[in-house]
Amino acid sequence: MGTDLQEVIDSFVIKLPFINFQGQESKIIQFMKTAIAKCYRHTYDNLEFVYVEELEEGNFLNVISQSSIELISMYMVKEYLVPTLSILSKRRQYLGTQAFNKIPSYKEQYDMMKQSLEYWSEEIEKFLMEFPDYSDER
């Protein structure tokens, strides 16, 4: 049996301590699927997994490295932030920047999401520098 999916999920959830993901297991699995697709070419690990929705548990088919777990979880954070920022951007566009900025909660949330997305994009970029280029060998 391979690595438990809970290791990746825990690594993801700890990166967003201000968000309550209770009861959102299917959403987290969707973030994981997208994240795996984005980081597949950066690791030799076999990232295929089995997830049993009724039991809300699953495993990778093989043991995966801590680096792969970290990379997947970082991409999952980015996948969480992009739609949220997109919604706020659409509100900003609809209301106009001046009106949007007059609503403190919208402006603060938009600024926080934008900064978080930039931070995680930079962190992923730095982390990928540590991975050798595997693209020629696949």
Condensed to tens digits (0 to 9), the pLDDT of residues 71-93 reads 999 999 999 999 888 888 888 88
d(CA 37, CA 47) in angstroms, rounded, equals: 9
Tell whether the model's pLDDT for residue 119 goes beyond 90.
yes
Distances (CA, A) of 28 to 11, 76, 98, 132: 12, 8, 35, 28
**What sign does the dihedral 76-79-81-84 (CA atoms) show?**
negative
pLDDT at 132: 62
Look up the domain containing 24 and give its range: 5-137
d(CA 23, CA 27) in angstroms, rounded, equals: 9
pLDDT at 62: 92
The tally of domains found in the chain comes to 1
